[in-house]
């Protein structure tokens, strides 16, 4: 673990050479890796922090060339201008014989003949770079789906970036990209990568979108390794990194109590598709569409998760079979509690439609969740602790999409590796005895072809306040079986 303080003062005057402060500690960290890690992933925004304007980020930007040029910045740091950050990253990889993945800022000159050219004459991109064991730049990715990042531009189209190693084929994208088809799904479905590298600055949103919850579910739903390095900044609700395999998490860390980061180290399978334990393909609607819904409940009510209006029905008994529908999505649940806590209420919910304020992404969600209090109007609000255990649960839905991500979240925002599975007919079921106390059991579907058409650019920046950031970095290191 190491800490790099990025100071954004009253006037946001930045000193470019301070962006290198992280690497001395990082080098010490890598030297301490005695267990044979072959690739290390660092978070989005780890070197500079955030809350920039286009002008204040510019001193930090470097020209990042196409990897086809065959450049080793450690050996030739001035080939593409002033590139101290890239030179240090390259030397870090070269001197330690390890692949290094980092998130930096790229600048590309443009001119008045380009109608999209910004006023300062440069495109500015949120950029991931990868250096191999010789220090050579082997991959460059410009983030497409920005989130409150006015300092950066959107590339003309999503980039599908892969690179090959002796230990597998890798793809790479950043943070908000994971919620969209391109580049995330295309890299797995069309380019057949074994592992996704994922720097992120992820803000946790209960009950469905905490980092460890959604990222582990995405790895399982897409049946691919996912290496997630998240910023650790508890005051901004940012924590949660992990190494996720197609069948279960290998290692993860979630900590909202301290300012301490952590190095995660784990082995994953070289090419998971060739493994005898590789999960079978799932028909997510097979079970739910094959039988009549359970008898309807008269007490179905509307509630909200964020701004999405769900239809809910209460789990009023210790055990039962429930169905709740919204439009063409019906969610079916069979369950049995070990004991029903008197001061805890659970509901089954269904939502299908365009998500949130922006009405941009089309979601289909079936979820069983704990309400914040016994008042049903609190169902869907964030809650972090629970006492109720379930002997059995089986959740399914009549999904119209093949892209569904199974989530099980335990009390105090822990995952549940080895305690649930997805059957080939689309049922999410528990296994290996009673569960630990449950917060949510969800099937999170993304129907990409029903997304609203838009000009990418992500979410606009609505805040102008300056920020003093103590950036606590979570690093992911990978061993290969």
- Give the residue from 406, 396, 400 showing the smallest Cα distance to 427: 396
The pairing of strands 3-7 and 468-473 is: antiparallel
Strands (E), 383-457: 390-397, 404-410, 420-422, 428-430, 438-446
Distance, in Å, from the CA atom of 223 to the CA atom of 352, rounded to the nearest integer, reads 24
- Give the residue from 287, 299, 318, 481 showing the smallest Cα distance to 397: 287
Distance, in Å, from the CA atom of 406 to the CA atom of 368, rounded to the nearest integer, reads 12
DSSP H helices, 148-242, are: 186-189, 211-222
Query: Catalytic residues, which ones?
Result: 44, 143, 175
Distance, in Å, from the CA atom of 458 to the CA atom of 285, rounded to the nearest integer, reads 31
Backbone angles phi, psi at 207, to 5 degrees: -95, 0
The pairing of strands 390-397 and 137-142 is: unpaired
Strands (E), 414-474: 420-422, 428-430, 438-446, 468-473
Distance, in Å, from the CA atom of 440 to the CA atom of 436, rounded to the nearest integer, reads 11
Residues recorded for the chain: 481
- Give the residue from 361, 351, 28 showing the smallest Cα distance to 207: 351
Q: Which residue has the tokens 């009253």?
A: 10
- Give the residue from 74, 174, 199, 47 showing the smallest Cα distance to 133: 74
The region that residue 191 occupies, defined by phi over 0 for left and psi between -120 and 50 for alpha, beta otherwise, is: alpha
The region that residue 306 occupies, defined by phi over 0 for left and psi between -120 and 50 for alpha, beta otherwise, is: left
Distance, in Å, from the CA atom of 400 to the CA atom of 394, rounded to the nearest integer, reads 19
- Give the residue from 104, 96, 98 showing the smallest Cα distance to 477: 98
DSSP H or E run through 89: helix 84-96
- Give the residue from 71, 55, 67 showing the smallest Cα distance to 122: 55
């Amino acid at each position: 673990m190491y800490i790099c303080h990025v100071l954004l003062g009253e006037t946001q005057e930045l000193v470019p050479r301070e962006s290198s402060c992280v690497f001395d500690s990082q080098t010490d960290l890598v030297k301490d890796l005695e267990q044979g890690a072959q690739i290390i992933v660092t978070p989005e925004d780890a070197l500079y922090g955030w809350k920039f304007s286009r002008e204040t980020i510019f001193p930090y930007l470097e020209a990042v060339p196409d990897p086809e040029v065959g450049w080793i910045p450690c050996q030739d740091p001035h080939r593409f201008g002033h590139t101290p950050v890239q030179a240090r990253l390259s030397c870090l990889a070269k001197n330690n014989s390890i692949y290094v993945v980092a998130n930096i800022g790229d600048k590309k000159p443009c001119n008045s003949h380009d109608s999209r050219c910004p006023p300062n004459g440069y495109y500015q991109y949120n950029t991931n770079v990868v250096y191999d064991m010789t220090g050579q730049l082997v991959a460059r990715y410009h983030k497409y789906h920005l989130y409150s990042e006015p300092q950066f531009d959107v590339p003309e189209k999503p980039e599908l970036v892969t690179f090959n190693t002796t230990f597998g084929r890798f793809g790479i994208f950043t943070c908000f990209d994971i919620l969209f088809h391109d580049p995330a799904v295309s890299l797995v479905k069309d380019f057949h990568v074994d592992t996704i590298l994922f720097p992120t600055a992820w803000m946790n949103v209960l009950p469905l979108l905490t980092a460890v919850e959604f990222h582990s579910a995405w790895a399982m739903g897409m049946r691919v390794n996912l290496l997630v390095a998240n910023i650790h900044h508890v005051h901004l609700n940012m924590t949660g990194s992990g190494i996720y395999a197609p069948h279960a998490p290998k290692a993860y860390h979630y900590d909202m109590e301290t300012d301490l980061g952590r190095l995660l180290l784990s082995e994953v399978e070289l090419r998971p598709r060739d493994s005898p334990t590789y999960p079978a393909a799932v028909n997510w609607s097979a079970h739910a569409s094959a039988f009549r819904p359970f008898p309807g409940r008269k007490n179905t009510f509307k509630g909200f998760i964020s701004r999405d209006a769900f239809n809910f029905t209460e789990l009023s008994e210790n055990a039962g079979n429930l169905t709740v529908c919204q439009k063409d999505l019906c969610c079916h649940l069979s369950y049995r509690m070990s004991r029903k806590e008197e001061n805890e209420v659970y509901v089954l919910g269904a939502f299908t439609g365009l998500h949130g304020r922006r009405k941009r992404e089309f979601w289909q969600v079936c979820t069983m969740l704990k309400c914040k209090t016994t008042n049903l109007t609190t169902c869907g609000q964030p809650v972090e602790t629970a006492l109720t255990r379930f002997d059995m649960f089986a959740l399914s839905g009549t999904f119209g999409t093949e892209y569904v991500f199974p989530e099980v979240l335990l009390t105090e925002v822990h995952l549940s590796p080895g305690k649930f599975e997805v059957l080939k007919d689309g049922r999410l079921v528990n296994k290996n005895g009673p569960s630990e106390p449950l917060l949510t059991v969800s099937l999170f579907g993304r129907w990409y072809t029903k997304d609203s058409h838009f000009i990418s650019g992500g979410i606009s920046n609505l805040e102008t306040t300056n920020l003093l950031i103590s950036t606590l970095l979570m690093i992911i290191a990978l061993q290969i079986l």
